[in-house]
Chain A
Amino acid sequence: MDTSQLLKGVLDLAVLAVLRKDDGYGYDVVRRLRAGGLNDVGDASVYGTLRRLYNAGLLTSYVVPSEEGPHRKYYSINETGRARLAESRETWRSFASTLDGLLEEVAA
């Protein structure tokens, strides 16, 4: 099964999760997601998701100058974002366990 289809629904959750501890700029987030095992995640999807979460008021951003190359815009999760992360995690867990149950039945 193509994981990229699955990813679309949960990329918000994944991005919020990797920003939970440390702020990060776009490419940072891409690297963390890949390091976490989401190898298929597209760069552009991550950047788009960051913009959407930012516009939804779940992230804040600040710019850090770079000696070489353009500035880096860091994103950090705010209280609203943390609340959404907790809520989404519950949703995901119940969804995942429901699906697990369904798959067990199929296997049995």
Chain B
Amino acid sequence: MNTQALGVEHYLAGMRAALDDLPPAEVAEIMEDVEAHVAELSTELGENETLEQRLGPPERYAQELRQAAGYPPRTERLPVTTKKPLVTRPRAAAWGLAIATGITLLVGASTLREPVFLLLLPAVILVLSLALVHDRGPAQAEIMDLPETRRIQQWLTPEEGTPAERAITYLKSLQPAWWLARAVLLGLAAVLLAGRDIPGFLFLAAIAVISVFAGPRAKVDRRWLWFSLPASALAVGLVFQVVDVVANNLAYNTSRQSYPAPMVETYENIYAYDENGKLLTNVLLYDQDGNPINASRQYYGCNGSGPEPMIPANRYPRPKIDYENGTCYTVAPSVSAPSSTPSTPPSSSGSAPSSSVAPTSVSPSK
């Protein structure tokens, strides 16, 4: 099986070399015929029979075909194999397709969050790369002949009977189902976009509809791969995105349950009483390191002319400023405080809303 496949490849390579002075589009058409022919003949070959024995050397086959087809005879034999440029049109097109498919996958994973017009980038790459090889026929034999695509093909066609071969055969049988699932996924994404992004909706909906036809068409005409592959990547990206959103929601819910936010207490003022229940004024508070203990809020002291930062800020109780009358006074603590009299009675209690200052929630009696 493998030696036969090698024989076919070798024969076809010889043919291509013998025809390489003809226009590439014509060579592609010829090779499409010849590939099917040689593949079919190779299955009819007996033991130890080679294609060369059946068909003659590839050069003679090419020569006979040229004559019958009315092509000009081969003029000069170019040292093509060594002088072939590294970047050919088929290679650029193949890589363009691969890169655009990769970008589409990334964009697809963020389509519902990011603007859909990001898809225009891979779309432009696809159009340009397809334009490079569109005239090379539906089989795209030159691309299939690149070393990199050969390797992928080899990888996708393992030895018959192995588990890998069975798995790939099974996956291939699922292809029509995937085409349908792909269209449904793309359609759903389009519907989700419909409310806020009409061009995006139309774009995705069009891709969804065309993708239904693109799958089977690509089997016959490989040029449809320039649509079908990125469409698949987009659908896979959308699946990733759904998984990501669901996972994030789950993680968010668990984290909310296990890590409750710490209670933040804020003090506006501090009132100190002696053992007789007398309110102490001008008390300076420090912690064990000698740092002043400041109530958390920014506070302004009184110096007669207007509010300015009080120094020191750890002097309690802090005075309250009556902005209307320009006076300062110490606000009394809540009613539940021990019997006491404020050192400076409020001069205009009506205009000072005591609720914003009185430590009702944090009673010093506690």
Binding site for B on A (CB under 8 A): 11, 25-27, 42-52, 54-55, 63-66, 69-73
Closest partner residue, chain A, to B218 (CB atom): A65
B67 touching A48, Cβ below 8 Å: yes
B64 touching A73, Cβ below 8 Å: no
A44 touching B62, Cβ below 8 Å: yes
Given the known inter-chain contacts A44-B62, A47-B68, A51-B69, please indicate yes or no for A69 contacting B55, CB distance below 8 A. no
* Any A CB within 8 A of the CB of B40: yes
B65 touching A65, Cβ below 8 Å: no
Binding site for A on B (CB under 8 A): 26, 29-30, 32-37, 39-41, 43, 55, 60-71, 138-139, 219-221
A42 touching B64, Cβ below 8 Å: yes
B220 touching A63, Cβ below 8 Å: yes
Q: What's the least CB distance linking A13 to chain B, in Å?
A: 13
A60 to B156, CA, bound (A): 33
Closest partner residue, chain B, to A54 (CB atom): B29
Q: 14 interchain pairs (CB within 8 A)?
A: A25-B36, A26-B33, A26-B34, A44-B65, A47-B30, A47-B68, A48-B65, A49-B69, A51-B29, A51-B69, A52-B70, A64-B220, A66-B36, A72-B36
A45 touching B36, Cβ below 8 Å: no
Candidates A42, A47, A64, A69; contact of B33 at CB < 8 Å: A47
Candidates A47, A48, A69; contact of B39 at CB < 8 Å: A69
A52 touching B68, Cβ below 8 Å: yes
A29 to B150, CA, bound (A): 30
Rank and list the top 5 A-B pairs by shortest CB-CB distance, nearest first.
A48-B68, A48-B69, A44-B64, A48-B65, A44-B65
Q: 4 other contacts beyond A26-B34, A47-B33, A69-B43, with CB at 8 A cut-off?
A: A46-B68, A51-B29, A51-B33, A51-B68
Closest partner residue, chain A, to B221 (CB atom): A63
B68 touching A69, Cβ below 8 Å: no
Given the known inter-chain contacts A43-B55, A44-B61, please indicate yes or no for A27 contacting B37, CB distance below 8 A. yes
Closest partner residue, chain A, to B219 (CB atom): A65
A55 to B65, CA, bound (A): 14
A14 to B119, CA, bound (A): 53
Chain A residues within 8 Å of B64, by CB: 42, 44-45, 48
Q: What's the least CB distance linking B26 to chain A, in Å?
A: 8
Q: What's the least CB distance linking A78 to chain B, in Å?
A: 17
Chain B residues within 8 Å of A71, by CB: 32, 36, 138-139, 220
A27 touching B40, Cβ below 8 Å: yes
Closest partner residue, chain A, to B216 (CB atom): A65
